[in-house]
Amino acid sequence: MPPHSDLDLKGIHLAPTRELLGLRPDVAVHDLTAFHRGVECDLTTNEAGSALALLLNGNGNMLERILSPFQLTLTDEVLELQGLARRSVSRLFVRHYAGFFRGCQREHVREATAKTMLYSYRVALTGVHLLRSGVLEPNLTVLAPLFGYHDVAELVALKQAGTEHGPLADDLDQHHRRRWPELEQALVDAEAESNLPAEAPNAAEIEGWLISARLSALTSSDRSNE
């Protein structure tokens, strides 16, 4: 982990079914910040119902969270959920990645660091690749050479050297900023040429999985109280 980096943990939790049926249902999002051995650790989990609704609406954060190769636990339920997520990919995801890309540009204008520029590349190219192939690939070291942006490796080297938060040299900064219109157009073209469905084709399957999971949790709870 580079110096001064924090640790972000993202997850999805299933609220106890009885709490959902009661007067005070579980909140949709839980946030916790703690320090471990001097490292700031941020945990965010979304309740499964809200997380899956976001997924069906084309939320890339939920797609990346579910399909991340870095899972703290890999249960049968997680594997089932990953299969559902892969089958849910649609053209709706362009809204997330295009909006996120514009946000990354604004953040880079404020900070102009290697980290913020890398985010802009990562978000745009992840979206383009997803719309073209239907496959999630969020690793910029894979995406950048795939799309011909070999000099992004210089930014990656700066990040790995621990200088990700320092300002970019002006000529280097302007070189990469000039690609923003190209990347934005690539997202537009990828959506226009995409063979993906207009919306998630498996919404009923996802809802059925959620209902089954809630009923199973309720049955298990009843057995433990006997």
Find out if CATH 2.60.40 is the number for domain 7-87+201-224. no
pLDDT in tens, 188-222: 999 999 999 999 999 999 999 999 999 998 877 65
- Say if CB 47 and CB 13 are below 8 A apart: yes
Q: What is the pTM of this model?
A: 0.89
Q: Where in the chain is the domain with CATH 3.30.460?
A: 7-87+201-224
pLDDT band at 7 (very low <50, low <70, confident <90, very high): confident
- Say if CB 176 and CB 104 are below 8 A apart: no
